[in-house]
Homo-oligomer: A and B are copies of this chain.
Amino acid sequence: MNIEPLIAYLSKYIHLSTDEKEILSEHVSYRKYLKGQFVVQQGDVCKYESFVVKGCLKTFYIDSEGQEHIVMFAVENWWAADLGSFITQSPADYNVQCLENTEVVQFSYEKLEALYLLIPKLERFFRIIIQKAYVASEKRIIGNFSLPARERYLEFREQYPDIEQRVPQYMIASYLGITKEFLSKIRSQIISK
């Protein structure tokens, strides 16, 4: 079990003693998924908050007409979950699926609640992480309503600098809420400038 990337990430926000790192490692699990496997499926309760050590995932939902809408990607050092489902322990609105073979460190709901009591400074860490998720979620609402597709694409590239080569174009188009053809047009306009 390689939880070093998680420890390094945590250390950017809080200082953990050797004992606390030990407690932490006893309360998380390490899991490998194959490309195509699901970490969460729409309708199930999201059991884990997953920290990505290696790999790439997409979060999406299927609308009433069967159309897939990607709302988030996750790569190394990101988190993958239906956070709303995890927090409320109610059925997930989203699917989280691996786009590559993926390795994650997972916090179950019960273990995380226990960890908050054992290592109270994790409250600070997760407060900050959830704040970031909230800001991203709000930016997405406002972006969808008010930014033109070209601007949304540029924001996507800034937010996910390394992902463009790792996922198919049609998924990026789905994330942006545009057709693959329109994305292709935007990209060639940007390159030709």
Binding site for B on A (CB under 8 A): 61, 63-64, 69, 71, 83-84, 87-88, 93-94, 116, 120-121, 123-124, 126-127, 130-131, 133-135, 137-142, 145-146
The chain B residue with its CB closest to the CB of A82 is B138
14 A–B pairs (Cβ distance < 8 Å), ordered by A: A61-B146, A64-B146, A71-B141, A83-B134, A83-B138, A87-B131, A87-B135, A94-B142, A120-B124, A123-B124, A123-B127, A137-B137, A137-B138, A140-B141
Label chain A's interface by main secondary structure.
Answer: helix
Contact residue among B63, B135, B139 (Cβ-Cβ distance under 8 Å from A145): B63
Q: A116–B120 contact, CB under 8 A? A: no
Q: B142–A87 contact, CB under 8 A? A: no
- Identical copies in the complex: 2
The chain B residue with its CB closest to the CB of A130 is B130
Measured between beta carbons, the chain B residues less than 8 angstroms from A131 are 87, 130
The chain B residue with its CB closest to the CB of A132 is B87
Contact residue among B64, B69, B133, B142 (Cβ-Cβ distance under 8 Å from A134): B133
Question: How far is it, in angstroms, between the C-alpha of A74 and the C-alpha of B130 when the chains are bound?
Answer: 21
Q: A137–B146 contact, CB under 8 A? A: no
Distance (Å) between the CB of A96 and the closest chain B CB? Answer: 13
The chain B residue with its CB closest to the CB of A88 is B135
Q: A138–B63 contact, CB under 8 A? A: no
Question: How far is it, in angstroms, between the C-alpha of A124 and the C-alpha of B115 when the chains are bound?
Answer: 12
Measured between beta carbons, the chain B residues less than 8 angstroms from A121 are 120, 123
